[in-house]
Chain A
């Protein structure tokens, strides 16, 4: 890995900033099973960073460490220039780390609009008493947040289903609503857990476009996990490759593509 202290400029001319998050020597165990073994990498501001690897490589575990759902036994998570203490997931979310889930986690009984509005929760500061009587700050906040949410709904082209209960939507749209909810929080870092899993080609193209647009329009830093190699290579600026809980490659898509270890892992060369 080259020394990227001041950020870099991508091939398509986007300016990538300093380190936003850094994983330092992370090890995560479940009992005797080592899910992640001494992995370090960084995520830079404005970048689209992918974590790839075969099934069971520990990608999702890594995402769960970043979002605070799992707590590693060893190693440090650095965020915005400081060590992040052990936090609960909702605290991590309040620090500006948004995420989507592999098996869609939406509030099925609520409408699309309400789902996306939950993304604004961390931006609403009115006290519980003000909310109870729906007075002053509570009302102003709701109106302001509603505007923000409408912007995102427009952006992701889900206006027509705003009032539909999420439970009734097809899979591809649910994925998009989940993205909208995560975006509504205006996250500094957006984590996408297999955003394209289970989609057909057309839906994948749509989703790729949205991910690129989000990054471009809002400057959101994105870290994603994905199975589909083609998609990952097109989307991301830098790629971490994991296999059996270890990091076997890290670099631009081109560098990773020509890495012998990565090729072995994907072609299934026997591990000795």
Chain B
């Protein structure tokens, strides 16, 4: 009885009793959720245009953040470092296309997937050689990102919104919206979507595989940089950042690998649900730290009922 009460009654009573705290929890969840969505979007973009599950997305986040901080440490002004980092991400995209993807074109998906694991390992080693392995601090204030907070008092309570978080949400939302517009409204966007559907047909209408792949990996690089800045300013810049990219995996399982809407909604859902669960169920009942596994369990449950994810395209395979 006591247990049932703790599971089904007490948490909701708490939520109603302290709505300001509930809002705080949801806000924190939203902030992580937006970043999960952003990373998931990077995965979806590459998967849709090349059927490659890009294992290296996580390390690209670290690599971008390290490059940015590293350049700044060498005395380059903050915004020029950002521009240079974008240049580095572009070079990375070109190199990956030239050295890894082009020779492997037409190979089974699993081989390309393995290749992205290779890229991951390479970037870890390369990053450590160039920038060293120790933790670094994101150059938040140098970039002009406001630090401080807004205090609101909804329902006579207290709600604290950090400026960093607000900036992260706004930037991520802008990036997501521009990406959606780009994909749906422009020639290049259409080419990206087309390429994922049918390589042969794409070639026959004059779409260059190479150009699109470089473009897509570059976009993934931009996403990595934004995520790196946002997450790095909360948690510091280290190779441990890579782990947050794996949070995108349950997001993808929920949202489906194909669906951009799925990636966005899945990311937000996971961000908020894991926070809610942690605060109202995890901490009191399970001793906390549920955020590290909640998302995966949730994804597993969804997969049991909908193997294609919540928004994925229905898989019909003829045998």
- Give me the interface of A with B, judged by CB distance under 8 Å: 67, 69, 88-91, 93-94, 98-101, 105-110, 114, 117-122, 124, 126, 128, 131-132, 134, 138, 141-142, 181-182, 185
Least Cβ–Cβ distance between A30 and chain B, in angstroms: 15
Q: Does B209 contact A (CB under 8 A)?
A: yes
Q: Does B201 contact A (CB under 8 A)?
A: yes
Does B204 lie within 8 Å of A138, measured CB to CB? no
Does B204 lie within 8 Å of A67, measured CB to CB? yes
**CB pairs A–B below 8 angstroms (17 shown):** A67-B204, A90-B203, A90-B207, A91-B206, A107-B194, A107-B197, A107-B201, A109-B196, A118-B191, A118-B202, A118-B205, A120-B187, A128-B188, A131-B189, A138-B187, A181-B201, A182-B204
Which residue among B197, B204, B258 has the maximum number of chain A CB atoms within 10 Å of its CB? B204
Question: Are A93 and B204 also in contact (CB < 8 A) when A121-B190, A124-B187 are?
Answer: yes
Q: Which of A108, A122, A131 contacts B206 (CB 8 A)?
A: A122
Chain A residue contacts of B206, Cβ below 8 A? 90-91, 93-94, 121-122, 185
Question: Are A90 and B208 also in contact (CB < 8 A) when A118-B191, A131-B188 are?
Answer: yes
Does B191 lie within 8 Å of A109, measured CB to CB? no
Least Cβ–Cβ distance between A135 and chain B, in angstroms: 11
The size of the chain B interface, using a CB distance under 8 A, is 28
Least Cβ–Cβ distance between A108 and chain B, in angstroms: 6
Does A118 lie within 8 Å of B190, measured CB to CB? yes
The CA-CA distance from A108 to B258 in the complex, in Å, is 13
Question: Are A114 and B208 also in contact (CB < 8 A) when A109-B258, A109-B313 are?
Answer: no
Q: Does B318 contact A (CB under 8 A)?
A: no
Q: Which of A108, A118, A131 contacts B207 (CB 8 A)?
A: A118
Does A132 lie within 8 Å of B191, measured CB to CB? no
Question: Are A132 and B201 also in contact (CB < 8 A) when A109-B193, A114-B190, A118-B194 are?
Answer: no
Least Cβ–Cβ distance between A228 and chain B, in angstroms: 23
Least Cβ–Cβ distance between B260 and chain A, in angstroms: 11
The CA-CA distance from A109 to B202 in the complex, in Å, is 13
Does B204 lie within 8 Å of A131, measured CB to CB? no
